Structure 1
């Protein structure tokens, strides 16, 4: 029996949608509004208690630094060039805790409206609920004075996060005082004008020191203001002309500074106090011969006798300075008022030049010491630790004040006591109860630098620069 295969029969049903209905559906889809999307809610401003301090951007040629040196203040102030987000420093920049997004605007009543662009190791949220802020307040000595004057302020501010309806930024330094007197505690006992480079238009302690030098030498007669303006520049130009210095007067450069220091130290020195002629006292003639020898005019014996060699030396000097034309002129060979004035000026100029050369050499040695890293870069006190403390201990050890086997980099009682002993020996302090005893501050730093420089200068004079 043949089996027949059954075929599975499938039937396809096609549903036809009328064109008019399909068109209507498409049209409805096109004109229907899209599904509603919920818009983000902008953040709301809120109030916050702040403890506010200020920081500044150090410059290499300041009169003084909070931590003792330019390098140390650069570290303390986070380089002072740009904020953590890369924004260049400007009035209105603030450092805030990490919970504050960059671009956050903060309104600080009585201070201004600032924007967060920076961070800081100590700029955080305190356990009391108060948040720390640090405001940038300028460059150099003026910025430092402004930061010190700002101090610590407690303010309730309003915070506007990014995306909120932020008010404009507004902060001006005109509302911030910058009394330069606040910098005086950070000065070394003998401020070194050679390390300062005040510029025209600047207001700073450095300018005050420049004006004081010019005043003491008789070139500046206005009140000491600290402003490097036209009067100060004119006074500086007059000094440079008298000492044959060819340097810009728009900034205090090293050669002019060295001459100012040297001239101030010798301003009361004079080689001659009396007229010199035949019959003058032997001691007066002796000084005249010594002065003319120093200036290169006298070659004979330095004694108290008025002789032909002295006459010819005076005559040669007078001719060189257009005081006489020949040996027969009135006053030839005699040191009268005009010749004496010229002699004293020439003598002072040469002495100042020699002293200035020494100062410039010492400055060069100081730069070499800085490059070698032999001197601590910051002020130090008991409890500090690190490479700067080790440098201090080595310096004290090399001078016999610190035990060689105790160099550790930890500033403890042994280091403190050794430092006090050094300070007493160097006459930085008179007794252990004096302010600064046991603290490596500006006076001690200056004294150590001075000793190192002078010791190396002796080496340079004896064996040349290659010896160091």
Structure 2
């Protein structure tokens, strides 16, 4: 005979079953547990980088996020984790060789994998240094310990200094290595942009150290000397667009000897005097005829130059109104400054043209490969059609076999690849992107020079 429990006891058991916490997995949700992870790193892109993993600032933002705050509103910081949705914000994860990190963020690809491993993404900095760290970090398979909310969590102890940021990792992603005006290195940076700055300072004769990529006191001192020589009132602790335009011009132009040979004075060589007249007219000191005659107007022009440069005080000082060795050296320095300034102005205009093309969506700003779709692919097809590599009627915004073949043909004609087996053949990587942008920039610059900015 079966014995029934009293009704009051059965009701109590039912209530306990309804309201008591259950754990179907057998793991206490407030207890730490071990887990397999697939760990990668991400960074916050900044404008003015030499290199972007997707080919441009906007494209890298799409991949890595805006880079200011995490999904829970926390300001980004080194070691912050992005984890799957099942991880509550504030969960901590202890990982071998990395330390203890806290979950604050999410990500489209940050999921639980079919293998049972969980994807984690760790934030490792911003700008080029952050990108170099993320690339060097790679993909790591790690077994770690999860400390849920409510458990006895260890303190955060992630140390960013444990992760290297090798500059050589950036080289395959360089999209602005040719355009110094697009870069913005500053004092304290350790990145490829600083190394590019040092290379240009060396080419211009202001830096005689190894291009380490560290923008330290030696680089700043070189910047000070350069800015002083070219009379630029720009900060020495960073590269501005104006100082970059002058440095680019100076580094690409070797010092030219002043084409005045001999002394310029009354009774001197007509050829030498005529050359002095041309130089002083170019510099804005002389507006008379180029006739080889030592006139009062030429004497006054030389005197005004000498007085402005502090070479003489009055017209009766020794050497006043005469071009001797000292005045010749001063003229040569000024002549080189002016020639550099003219070219710097050109580089500034070219850079402004490219920025307008980018802002207007008229030039490519990211890497592209088979499988990509959208407006950027349509623009690529249009650019290839203009060059005769793609049928205009086939422009559809889909990067398929036809587009890949057209890109390859363009690359071969441009000397970028030789065969389909070459790295990057048929896809728009750094070299192809730079080549297309260089051509579009030059074409747009010619239009602006001929017809004005409105023609763009």
Shorter chain as denominator, the TM-score bin is 0.7 to 0.9
What are the ranges of 5 or more consecutive residues in structure 2 without an aligned counterpart?
1-15, 23-27
1:349 to partner: Cα distance: 1.1
1:259 corresponding residue in structure 2: 246
Relative to structure 1, the CA distance from residue 161 to residue 189 in structure 2 (aligned partners, 3 Å threshold; closer, same or farther) is closer
Q: Does 1:107 align with 2:106?
A: no
Q: Is the 8 A contact 2:55 2:175 kept in 1?
A: no
Of stretches 134-143 and 386-395 in structure 1, the one that deviates more from structure 2 is 386-395
Q: What residue number does 2:347 align with?
A: 359
User: Structure 2 vs 1, CA of residues 188 and 269 (structure 1 numbering), >3 Å: closer, same or farther?
Assistant: farther
Task: Give the paired residue count.
Answer: 431
Q: 1:140 matched to which residue of 2? A: 127
State how far apart, in whole Å, the 1-side matches of 2:108 and 2:200 are. Answer: 41
Q: Provide the residue aligned with 1:54 in structure 2.
A: 41
1:370 to 327, 337, 358: 358
Shift of 1:261: 0.6
The separation in 2 between residues aligned to 1:259 and 1:287, in whole angstroms, is 26
Tell me if the contact between 2:255 and 2:336 (Cα under 8 Å) persists in the aligned partners: no
Deviations 1:348-394 (A, max 9, x none): 11111111112222222222112211223310112322222111111
Q: Distance in 1 between matches of 2:237 and 2:285?
A: 37
Residue matched to 1:446: 434
Q: What displacement does 1:137 show?
A: 0.4
1:39 is displaced (CA, Å) by 8.6
Residue number among 166, 170, 186 corresponding to 1:183 in the alignment: 170
TM-score by length of 2: 0.85
Alignment CA distance shift 1:148-1:190 (3 Å)? closer
Aligned in 2, Cα 1:317/1:42: closer, same or farther, shift over 3 Å? closer
**Superposition RMSD on alpha carbons, in Å?**
2.8
State the match for 2:190 in structure 1.
203
Separation in 1, partners of 2:371, 2:290: 61
Counterpart CA distance in 1 for 2:240 and 2:275 is 35
Residue of 139, 143, 163 corresponding to 1:156 = 143
Deviation at 1:212, TM superposition (A): 2.0
Do the aligned partners of 1:397 and 1:403 also contact (CA within 8 Å) in 2? yes
Provide, for residues 127-151 of structure 1, a one-character-per-residue CA deviation record: whole Å limited to 9, x for no partner: 2222221111011111011111111
Structure 1 residues 281-292: aligned runs within 5 Å: 287-292=275-280
The alpha carbon displacement at 1:76 in A equals 0.7
Structure 2 partner of 1:67: 54
- Bigger mean CA offset, 137-146 vs 208-217: 208-217
- Inter-partner Cα distance in structure 1 for 2:329 and 2:413: 43
Q: 2:367 aligns with which of 379, 385, 389?
A: 379
Question: Is 2:394 the counterpart of 1:403?
Answer: no
Matches within 5 A, 1:40-51: 43-51=30-38
Structure 2: how far apart are the matches of 1:431 and 1:317? 60
Shift of 1:215: 2.4
Q: For structure 1, which segment, 232-241 or 217-226, has the greater mean C-alpha deviation from structure 2 after superposition?
A: 217-226
Q: How far apart, CA to CA, are the structure 2 residues paired with 1:443 and 1:229?
A: 30
In the aligned structure 1, how far is the partner of 2:260 from the partner of 2:109? 63
Separation in 1 of the partners of 2:203 and 2:335?
19
Go from structure 1 to structure 2 and tell me whether the alpha carbon gap of 1:215 and 1:402 turns closer, same or farther (over 3 Å shift).
Answer: same
Higher-Rg structure is 1
Matched residue SS, 1:223: coil
Check the 8 A contact 1:58/1:73 in 2, yes or no. yes
1:294-343 Cα offsets, whole Å, 9 max, x none, are 2234556658x575589635555445434356777655665443222111
* Aligned-partner Cα distance in 2 for 1:206–1:131: 35
Structure 1 residues 346, 373: CA separation in 2 closer, same or farther (over 3 Å shift)? Answer: same
Counterpart CA distance in 1 for 2:312 and 2:412 is: 58
Out of 86, 89, 103, the position equivalent to 2:76 is 89
Distance change in 2, residues 1:337/1:420 (3 Å): farther
Deviation of the 1:229 alpha carbon: 2.4
The alpha carbon displacement at 1:427 in A equals 4.0
SS at match of 1:129: coil
SS at match of 1:177: coil
What is aligned with 1:437? 425
